[in-house]
Amino acid sequence: MTGPQTSAGPLRFGAFEVDIRAGEVRKNGSKIRLQDQPFRVLRILLEHPGVIVSREQLQKQIWAEDTFVAFDTGLNNAIKRLREALGDSAETPHLIETVPRRGYRFIGEIHSVQSVTEHRSLAVLPLENLSRDPEQEYFADGLTETLITNLARISALRVVSRTTAMHYKGLRKPLPEIARELAVDAFVEGTVQRSGDRVRISAQLIEASTDTHLWAESYERDIRDVLTLQADVARAIAKEIQVKLTPHEQTQLASTHRVDPRAYEYYLKGRYHLNRRSPEALFKGAEHFQKAIDQDPAYAAAYAGLGDSLTALGFWAVVPPQEGAAKGKAAAFRAIELDNTLSEAHAALAFATIHYDFAPQRAETVARRAFELDPRNALAIRALAISLLGTEHFEESLQLAQRAVELEPYSMPLRWLLGAILYFGRQYDRAIEEVQNALDLDSSFAPSLFTLSYCYLAKRMFDAGISSAEAAVKASGRTSFFLSTLGHAYACAGMVTDAQAILSQLRELSKVRYVSPHCFAWAMSPLDEMRGAALEALEAAQKERAPFFMWAKIGPWFDNLHSDPRFDNLVRLLNHRS
């Protein structure tokens, strides 16, 4: 085969099959692990079979000009890992040939995988709530999320994420138009109706390009069997579009169990609030997850949700570390004890580990387990990206964040994370661009405004930095975390009186609610006359395990303290964590 390979479907060479869209490689039907950069190199080589692809072409398409690592080292490592995964060698190549001083060439024979059907990418549109009770929206949204999760377990399918699917809730766009936006060739849509302890789901499969109904079915069960019901729907869809389930996938879909109706209802309410991520929503989410656990103490998913909620509350300094990440870590551990195959549980543990134990290497190990269990789980990718940032593997962290955004382009937290990683890498212009993309989704998302402020301050654009910080304070309801950002901005701009006024407000707030010592350190650190007090606040943050102390060493906001031996002594403690 010669010339560019443009097929979007799976490609096969030898024992290997590559699904470009899903980002997966299989050998004899079993998925093999291949990191992002080696996969991107493989994709480019497969697009030009038999043609020399120069190192310069690879650099242009994969490595940005301002990449964190040396290009030559990065490419050599990527080629090495790719060859190891494919069982190839530079000395006797069967697949990837090195052309000295020029580049690389794919020399294997490629075949397009012809399938019975082309419906290999799906979007599950939000199930419509037929109860007409607005209070039951959480139930319909929760069933939508679970159905997406079940379908996403089928490796032969590419399934649009929950966040992206929910973006279309209530929109009346023509399906072919949505199909073009999401690059899918089929939809699942339907309704859900709950009456007492009975649940009825009606689902239909629709061909995207023609708006043709391919299959429809209704299911009615006792609410205790709702998980089995949704697994049945997933299996029926897989059968209809004629995708083959692996033995492991068959086991996963078959291993459902009855759930306590009250516990399941509390769990869905918890997910509903957790997905909103505001402090108020996180409190409500934690409350409902705890009620689910009280109702069913063996409910692993509820423990994972509780862990995620509590750690997030601690992360944003809404509650003290002992009430936040410490309890979040314990909940995540319990979830893993109950079900060690639950990707969300390992992701929650990784997030708590890095922000309570300040142990990014240990968190990375846990996060990799979450990723192995479900490579499409955005929470697992987020946890791994944050862990790698903590070990200062900036480039790999950035690539994972980009992958997470590709999976969930409408997720504000993930788009914010991408911008934050670029900020940590001192790539302020790119960070501003990504954060603005997040703000296009929601202009009142306080974390994005917070990061935007720090980017502008790093570029000495003080007016813009202050304006963004003021917007973050307003959007957050004047919480201490974002209030301290405004104090930092005033201090950077030399507005000492305004910075001190913010410090006074933080002291008053601390009399009635928790205020992290890290907030005082942020507000004080740019002021030379308050450097000693800022370092004392940082020491207090380290002692009480304030989550953001984890980032004191690599966060640009404390760059002016790096020359102080007291700061060096503090952050040296981070190097002794494992």
From CA 354, how far away is CA 367, in angstroms rounded? Answer: 10
CATH class held by domain 259-408: mainly alpha
pLDDT band for position 66 (cuts 50, 70, 90): very low
| pLDDT number for residue 157 | 81
CATH of 121-257 among 3.30.9.10, 3.40.50.2300, 3.90.1150.10, 3.40.50.10610: 3.40.50.10610
Q: Which CATH architecture has domain 11-112?
A: Orthogonal Bundle (1.10)
| pLDDT, the chain, mean | 87
| pLDDT number for residue 522 | 93
| pLDDT number for residue 69 | 52
Q: What is the pLDDT of residues 207-262, one digit of tens each?
A: 887 777 778 888 888 888 888 888 888 888 887 777 777 777 777 777 766 778 88
| pLDDT number for residue 7 | 46
From CA 259, how far away is CA 350, in angstroms rounded? Answer: 27
The DSSP line for 163-232 is HHHHTTTT----HHHHHHHHT-SEEEEEEEEEETTEEEEEEEEEETTTTEEEEEEEEEEEGGGHHHHHHH
Does pLDDT of 56 surpass 80?
Answer: yes
Query: How many other C-beta atoms can be found within 10 angstroms of the C-beta atom of residue 490?
Result: 26
Q: Where is average pLDDT lowest: 21-30, 87-96, 131-140, 543-552? A: 21-30
| pLDDT number for residue 231 | 83
| pLDDT number for residue 1 | 38
| pLDDT number for residue 114 | 46
Of all residues in the chain, what percent carry a pLDDT higher than 70? 93
Does pLDDT of 346 surpass 60?
Answer: yes
Give me the residue spans of the domains in the chain. 11-112, 121-257, 259-408
Q: What is the pLDDT of residues 386-401, one digit of tens each?
A: 999 999 999 999 999 9
The DSSP line for 306-359 is HHHHHHHHHHTTSS-TTTTHHHHHHHHHHHHHH-TT-HHHHHHHHHHIIIII--
pLDDT band for position 195 (cuts 50, 70, 90): confident
Residue count of the chain, please give it.
Answer: 578
Q: Bigger pLDDT: 283 or 5?
A: 283
| pLDDT number for residue 250 | 76
- Give the three-class secondary structure for 112: strand
Residue 156: phi and psi, rounded to 5, are -80, -5
| pLDDT number for residue 183 | 82
